[in-house]
Structures are given as C-alpha cells and as structure tokens.
C-alpha cells in the first residue's frame, strides 16, 4: 500500500497485517500491526542482525523486518543529512526512525540532454 525505496542496494518497504477480531464488541477497533522490511536486493537476505530475532551477530530470516507499531504504517521516507541517511516510518504510535547504515556521498547531479 506504500511505495518501496531502494538505497545503496538496500530495499525498504512497509506492510500491514490485520489482527483477527477476538473482541466481544464488534465495534471495537482492531489496529493490526505495521512492519518495516529491509532486504538485500541481490539475494533477499536480511540487512541487519537483531532487527527481530533477538540475538546473535548474523542476520537471520526473521531479521528481514522490524515491528513499527500498531496501525497502518506510512511509506519508508529517507532523510538525507550530512552525517548519512535516516529512514522515518509513521505508524499508530508515532514515528519510528531507523539507521539503515548508509553513508552516501552528497554530490550535485545534473541532467543534460543535447537537442538535435
């Protein structure tokens, strides 16, 4: 439901999983859960250890995502700063900031097209 972003060979996207309604009141809000996924675009492996697995220094399949709170999350928004890149995801409990471990060089890029 939100567009993905790719930065330095890393793919980030959000998902939403509704929870099963177990409330006795059918009018009660059931928020569900939002996740941010971070995967390698070449092999679909996890980018970071301990995002979701809870231990170890090597990324596992469970480390492909992290919980970002209840409700439907926003898209992953990159914020470019002098010190590097930060990713912000909005959710039901507020904003979650993630350090994707990217230190891209900041250079000006120009588009030039010669007309014939």
Query: What proportion of the chain, given as a percentage, has pLDDT over 90?
Result: 34
- The answer to whether residue 81 scores a pLDDT higher than 90 is no
- Residue 75 forms part of a structural domain: yes
- Residue 24 forms part of a structural domain: no
Give the model confidence (pLDDT) of 27-54 as tens digits. Answer: 777 788 999 999 999 999 988 877 876 6
DSSP string, 2-22: ---EEETTEEEEEEEEPPP--
Question: Structurally, how many domains does the chain consist of?
Answer: 1
pTM equals 0.78
**80: containing domain:** 1-17+31-116
pLDDT score, position 53: 65
Contacts of 30 (CB under 8 A, 6+ apart): 18, 19, 20, 21, 23
- Residue 93 forms part of a structural domain: yes
Contact 32, 17 (CB under 8 A): yes
């Amino acid at each position: 439901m939100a567009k993905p972003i790719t930065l330095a060979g890393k793919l980030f996207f959000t998902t939403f999983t509704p929870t099963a309604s177990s409330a006795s009141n059918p009018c009660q809000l059931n928020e569900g859960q939002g996740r941010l996924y971070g995967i390698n675009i070449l092999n679909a492996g996890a980018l970071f250890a301990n995002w979701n697995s809870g231990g170890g220094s090597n990324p596992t399949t469970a480390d492909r995502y992290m919980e970002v709170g209840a409700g439907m999350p926003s898209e992953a928004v990159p914020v470019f700063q002098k010190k590097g890149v930060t990713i912000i995801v909005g959710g039901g409990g507020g904003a979650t900031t993630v350090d994707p471990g990217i230190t891209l060089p900041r250079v000006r890029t120009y588009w030039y097209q010669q007309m014939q």
